[in-house]
Amino acid sequence: MRTSTIFALILAPCLALASCGGEGSGRGGAGGAAGGGTWGGPGSGSGGGSGGGGGTATLTFAGPKDASPTATDTVAITWDPAVLTAATEDEVLYDVFRADNEAMTGELLIGTTSPGVSSFLDSGLANDATYFYRVIARTTESGLVEEPEVVVSSNLPRQPTGTPIDYSATVEPLWSRLGNDGVTTCLDCHDGTVAKPDLQSWEGVMIGMGTPAAPDTWVTAGMGVASWRDLVNRIRSHPSAMPAHRMWLSQVTDYENTLVPWVDEGATEAADLTPPEFDPADLANSDLYMVEDRGNNRVAIRFPHAMDLESQPYGPQSFDHLTYLVFAGETSNTIDWSSQFRTVANNTFPTSDDSFVLIFDWPANTGTFVVRAADWFGNVSISEVELNFERASVN
């Protein structure tokens, strides 16, 4: 614990008064301990003065327990309430400090809670940054202060800065472009009745030559260049339709420059603005989210699927479309957030499995690991539920 100067100054006069003789009774002054341990109340006792009677009030506080993101720009800091012994009229409030380093160099007081509140929201923060916090407990009247040497940290993951592509605003207008005859559009044939694919809707594009249950489309989410090549090859495989398609030959580059980025972002119908997220119940389930020692300086972590309906590809999927990023450090405050320790690429985690196991070398005897999920556009989940590992000592 950090020794508080305020606390020492308060106790000194109280102890001096308590050591004085006399049989009189007195009233506790401001900041003094009165009889029965009530600060500022009447005190009586054989020792006389304000130091007689009940025991001296003390304040015990363990410090912050956790700091974790609740939004892309917000961190919640939580702690167990301080314990104030002896009967007092005091209330306890908390000062919260923030810095960009574990030593808390250059720290700022970012807020003071109302009495009795044991959490604090720090908002308006920049992403792609790690924040460190410490908390002081103090009483409202007597000036007791408890300042634990406990620092917690939280990382706000980097989020994409660009604007995601919206199908209806960017891709759909391609199908209404006029060919070089100045009259014909793609929709004149691909209207759902004359020829497939049906270009009248996003769903029609995603179904392609197949059915909703078994799509057969040129689009492979996340693979823009490969999808474009597939589209070109499909067109070329129908020689009888080539004269019609050649009416857009001068616009091929525009089509490619629009379709490739859209597919790279997951070929979603709506602009993908939200990050994926894990079900909190899954992260609280030790059968789905856990770490264990595998011997020979190896560690295994297990994690569940995250959810992201906004970026979910169309139709049945055999593999998870999300990428999973593993961050690691020997302690919570030393996690290297600047680069992922391990990556599980998209289309690796079978959708039929409820969890994925990753095994890796870890020679250190302690470790803290966090798994985050990222979608095609680069939105990253904010969950920061830690897996803490400590290798059992060998006698």
3-class SS letters over 275-320: CCECCHHHHCCCCCCEEEEEECCEEEEEEECCECHHHCCCCCCCEC
- What amino acid occupies position 159? Q
pLDDT at 57: 83
pLDDT greater at residue 101 or residue 90? 101
d(CA 128, CA 72) in angstroms, rounded, equals 10
13 pLDDT higher than 60: no
pLDDT at residue 341, rounded to an integer: 98
Mean per-residue pLDDT for 335-350? Answer: 97
Three-class SS of residue 387?
strand
Token pair for 124: 């308006």
Q: How confident is the model at residue 87 (pLDDT cuts 50, 70, 90)?
A: low
The answer for residues whose C-beta is within 8 angstroms of residue 74's C-beta and 6 or more apart is: 121, 122, 123, 124, 125
Q: What is the mean pLDDT of the chain?
A: 86
**Run of H or E including 255:** helix 252-264
Q: Is the pLDDT of residue 49 over 60?
A: no
**Inter-residue contact 205 to 217 (CB < 8 Å):** yes
Residue count of the chain: 395
Question: pLDDT > 70: what percent of the chain?
Answer: 85
Structure-model confidence comparison of residues 19 and 376, the more confident one? 376
Contact (Cβ atoms closer than 8 angstroms) between residue 306 and residue 325: no
**Where in 72-169 does DSSP place strands (E)?**
74-79, 83-84, 92-99, 108-112, 119-122, 129-139, 145-146, 152-156
Q: Could you tell me the CA-to-CA distances from 373 to 8, 59, 266, 300 in Å, in that order? A: 49, 42, 15, 18
pLDDT at 53 over 80: no
Residue 34 has pLDDT above 60, yes or no: no
Q: Is 70 exceeded by the pLDDT of residue 108?
A: yes
- The two three-digit tokens of residue 392, written as one number: 């059992």
Does residue 1 have a pLDDT over 80?
A: no
Q: What percent of the chain has pLDDT over 90?
A: 78
pTM (2 d.p.): 0.81
Question: In 10 A of CB 270, how many CB atoms?
Answer: 13
Residue 191 — very low, low, confident or very high, per pLDDT cuts 50/70/90?
confident
What's the average model confidence in pLDDT over 71-76?
A: 96
Q: Which helix (H) or strand (E) holds 8?
A: helix 5-19
What does the pLDDT look like over 268-322, one tens digit per residue? Answer: 999 999 999 999 999 999 999 999 999 999 999 999 999 999 999 999 999 999 9
The 8-class DSSP code of residue 167 comes to I
Instruction: Tell me the mean pLDDT in the region 41-45.
Output: 32
* Average pLDDT of the residues in 338-344: 96
Cα 189 to Cα 315: distance, rounded to the nearest angstrom: 24
Q: Hey, what domains does the chain have and what are their CATH numbers?
A: 59-156 (2.60.40.10), 171-265 (no CATH), 277-390 (2.60.40.10)
Which two structure tokens, joined as six digits, stand for 356?
């994925």
- 195's CB contacts (< 8 A; 6+ apart) are 189, 241
Sign of CA dihedral 283, 288, 294, 300: negative
